[in-house]
Chains A and B, each alone.
Chain A
Amino acid sequence: MRARSAWAQGVAGLAGLCVLLELVPRSGLVSARYLPPISEILAALADKAGEASFWTALADTMRGWAIGLTVAVVAGVVLGVALGSIGPLRAATGSTIEFLRPIPSVALVPLAVLLFGTDLRSKLLLIVYAAFWQVLIQVLSGVQDVDPVARETARSYGLGAWAQVRHVTWPTTLPYLMTGVRLAATIALVLAITAELVIGSPGLGKEIAVAQSSGAVASMYALVVVTGLIGVAVNLLARVLERRALAWHTSVRGELPA
């Protein structure tokens, strides 16, 4: 019952937003040149869905996102587990990580343009740099969180280094890693769109820039709505993945009805 009323409230909220976005431009409160009514935006969206170029752009964006995120996650996990498990290494690299992490990845835009132009690699450079730190930092805190008793128990049972990583470090780190992946998935999408918008790599971001410069306001809004929907989808996907991977973990189990 509660779930259904929450559902109804949410639908009411979204419907309210749509009505608002229809009435505000129609009533002339905001000029339709700046904000077309939502019906026009949706019509433009339907037009877009009929064009092959839209689907190509969408595929370009998602490909950059997926490759960049995968590279960042793999690199983050491997380096994170290695640096975190080996004490002296962690101590020696801490300050360097703290320094490199806050460097905004958009600082690399000019470099990416010079090295790779509008190529996919430009996009990947920005995505990987931004997403990698999210994963690395989480994995490092996860490895640090390993229960010392569990670690010593494993050692006294004679588990080798690999078995220790697999059976002790990994289960503790996984929840942290999943948080990192969720954050990284969002950031990767932002940077993919940014690269397309600013550098002009093919993808939705570039389409938005083109629509803006050619004055196709309704299409521009339609594309922005699409990026928002992708963002929502990415969030949901990451949450589902998190629940799947952590089905055994108390933080997830606790939410199930007892």
Chain B
Amino acid sequence: MTAVGRLARRAALALGLPLAIIAVLWVASADSQSFYLPPLRTVLETFADVWLSARLIDDVLPSLLRLAVGYLAAVALGVAIGVPLGASRTVRGVVEPVLEFFRAIPPPVMVPILILIAGIGDIMKVLVIVFGCVWPVLLNTVEGVRAVDPVLDETARCYRIRGLARLRHLVLRGASPQIFTGMRQSLSIGIILMVISEMFASSNGLGFTIIQFQRSFAIPEMWSGIILLGLVGVLLSLAFRAVEGRVLAWYYSLRRSHRGEPTG
């Protein structure tokens, strides 16, 4: 098969089913009289009207900003606490059950607690995201730091690599595949919490707007909001994968070479 042929085949495989599903939905819903399931055409037209407007700045942007601040704070916090925990066996033994308990609390129940403490403003929403996102990063950092290759550790010691250089080149590097696993779990939790904190109590944001649509029975608008949330989820996960691929490029090629596959 030629290169062009292969590419065409891959494109057909990747796009075939999604296009078919959209086509079927489009046709099947074209003259839908159902109140809850408006025609796809109407939904998509509404999408442009509703979201490509001032709402993009008034509602979508604040949501995403809160998510970004909360998520990055949680990652920083998780790594900062996780590194010392991973390095010390005793400290780990003492705090592990406590951490396991906090991680097991379903993060959405923190919304009412944080409303009590921080009101219903931006701070509450960011704190909810931080609280939910910090555990996967923290626990994976602990695991990653604990599992740093002992040979590398001793090599670094022989070369007298200490302090910040050791932290940067040995500990964080070695733990980074695990840290990224935690960050990936945290990202999907963060999106859920972004939406929930706004559904519970808010005056702007994606979650708030979608619930408003639902309460006022603006059905095509509600559907367009659901689609937008889905797109946000998909785009963020693509962005995450791009960052991960970049940062962990060394790790993937190392793994490939261990398996005897061509690197590059």
Contacts and interface: CB of A to CB of B under 8 A. Distances in A.
Interface in B150-182: none
A208 B229 CA distance: 26
Contacts of A102: 188, 233-234, 236-237
A110 B107 contact: no
B102 A228 contact: yes
Chain A, interface size category, equals 35 or more
A107 B226 contact: yes
A189 B106 contact: yes
Chain B, interface size category, equals 35 or more
Contacts of A228: 101-102, 104-105
A205 interface: yes
B21 A96 contact: yes
A109 interface: yes
Given A10-B96, A17-B98, A104 B109 contact: no
Interface string A9-26: 111111011000000000
B210 A110 contact: yes
A241 interface: no
B199 interface: yes
A197 B108 contact: yes
A16 B101 CA distance: 14
Chain B contact surface mostly: helix
A231 B105 contact: yes
Interface in B93-121: 93-98, 100-113, 115-117
B214 interface: yes
Interface string A218-237: 00110110011111101100
A71 interface: no
A96 B14 CA distance: 8
A109 B17 contact: no
Contact of A14 (B18, B97, B108, B229): B97
A114 interface: yes
Interface in A84-123: 91-96, 99, 101-111, 113-115
A93 B17 contact: yes
Contacts of B102: 228
Contact of B15 (A95, A110, A234): A95
A115 B36 contact: yes
Interface in B67-117: 90, 93-98, 100-113, 115-117
Interface of B: 13-18, 21, 36, 90, 93-98, 100-113, 115-117, 188, 191-192, 195-196, 199-200, 207, 210-211, 213-214, 219, 222, 225-226, 229-230, 233-234, 236-237
Q: Which 4 A-B pairs have the closest CB atoms?
A: A231-B104, A9-B93, A110-B214, A212-B112
